[in-house]
Amino acid sequence: MNIEKKIEGNKLLVKINGRLDTNTSPEFEKELKNDLPGIKELIFDFNDLMYISSSGLRVILSTEKIMNKQGNMIIKNVNDLVMEVFEVTGFIDILTIE
Amino acid sequence: MDKLIVPAKTEKLNKVLNFINNQLKTYNFSKKFETQLELATEEIFVNIANYAHEKDSENSEIAIYSFFNEDYSILTVRFVDNGIPFNPLEEKDPDITLSSEMREIGGLGIFLARKNVDEINYQYKKGRNILTFKKLLK
């Protein structure tokens, strides 16, 4: 997994490349936690996210909860395989997916 | 039937996924089937490693068996381990209709595993946890 981050003022753009699974999600969470304070707009680009398991969903949900309090979170470019996981778990109804 | 034995540690996940995928290479499954299979395998393996085994225990292992029945197009994957009796299928399904504020973080692993296989069952036999799932090639 590779994470690219871009901060512009209080806007954070995060692009993930690879897989969010049991072994990679903790690093993803750590990377996010450092930059979230003060962020009002969080945008995830999932174009190159090929796989997500429950450990990745856990980070997404906890981040959504944080962003609900301090601004908003948008997920872009979700592919079919990841979208199916969002559908099955009801995440499609609680996330803002564009 | 192919078999792989690994220490009951989540760091072995990639080895387990490679084992499952390698065996199926010749059959040319769809990417969707492969992803669903990886999801079920990851969630079950990680659950067993985390809950049926003490952390850093030296001699706890998980054996994984995989068999594809070509006549019926059914893939069977079985996890056998010598940990404490633990039935992952007893876990209650999460309420997936709640708002993000109300939803609990976690508890989606076994739910996802169930959703991505056609049949799943657990037995405790002769001191071993045996979890088997079947997946139909559609």
Q: pLDDT tens digit string along B10-47? A: 999 999 999 999 878 888 889 999 999 999 999 999 99
Long-range interactions of B93-100: CB distance < 8 A, separation 24+ = B94/A89, B96/A89, B96/A90, B97/A90, B97/A93, B99/A94, B100/A61, B100/A64, B100/A65, B100/A68, B100/A94, B100/A95
CB atoms within 10 A of CB B55: 9
Answer positive or negative: Cα dihedral of A51, A53, A55, A60: positive
What pLDDT does A4 receive?
A: 96
Nearest-CB residue to B13 (from A21, A54, A95): A21
Contact across the interface for A53 and B35, Cβ inside 8 Å: no
What pLDDT does B105 receive?
A: 86
Distance from CA of B18 to the nearest CA of A (A): 14
Contact across the interface for B100 and A85, Cβ inside 8 Å: no
Mutate to test the interface with B, among A25, A54, A94 (most CBs of B within 10 A): A54
Query: Distance between CA B70 and CA B21 in Å, rounded?
Result: 16
Contact across the interface for A53 and B43, Cβ inside 8 Å: yes
Instruction: Calculate the CA B127 to chain-centre distance.
Output: 19
Contact across the interface for A54 and B11, Cβ inside 8 Å: no
- DSSP readout, A15-34? EEEEEESTTTHHHHHHHHHH
Q: Does B96 touch chain A (CB under 8 A)?
A: yes
Any idea which fold B2-136 has?
Heat Shock Protein 90 (3.30.565)
Average pLDDT of chain B to the nearest whole number: 93
pTM of the model: 0.95
- DSSP readout, B23-58? HHGGG---HHHHHHHHHHHHHHHHHHHHHSS-TT-T
- Tens digits of residue pLDDT in B59-69: 799 999 999 99
In three-state secondary structure terms, B83 is coil
Q: Does A70 touch chain B (CB under 8 A)?
A: no
CB contacts of B43 in chain A (<8 Å) are 53-54
Q: Does A97 touch chain B (CB under 8 A)?
A: no
Q: Under 8 Å CB-to-CB from A32, ≥6 apart: which residues?
A: A14, A59, A63
> Does residue A87 have a pLDDT over 90?
yes
Nearest-CB residue to B99 (from A62, A81, A94): A94
In three-state secondary structure terms, B5 is strand
Distance from CA of A23 to the nearest CA of B (A): 7
Any idea which fold A2-93 has?
Transcription Regulator spoIIAA (3.30.750)
The helix (run of H) or strand (run of E) holding residue B10 is none
What pLDDT does B25 receive?
A: 82
In three-state secondary structure terms, A69 is helix
List the structure tokens of A36: 């979230």
Choice among A66-75, B8-17, B22-31, B83-92 with the minimum mean pLDDT: B22-31
Decide the pairing of beta strands A41-52 and A11-20: parallel
Nearest-CB residue to B109 (from A23, A54, A93): A54
Mean pLDDT, rounded, for B101-106:
88
Count of alpha carbons within 13 Å of B124, Cβ hemisphere only? 10
Q: Under 8 Å CB-to-CB from A87, ≥6 apart: which residues?
A: none
Answer positive or negative: Cα dihedral of A64, B14, B54, B116: positive
> Does residue B128 have a pLDDT over 90?
yes
| Domain range annotation of chain B | 2-136
B13: left (phi over 0), alpha (psi -120 to 50) or beta: alpha
Residue A90's pLDDT band (cuts 50, 70, 90): very high
> Does residue B57 have a pLDDT over 80?
no
Contact across the interface for B35 and A51, Cβ inside 8 Å: yes
Q: Is the ipTM of this complex over 0.90?
A: yes
- Per-residue DSSP letter, A35: H
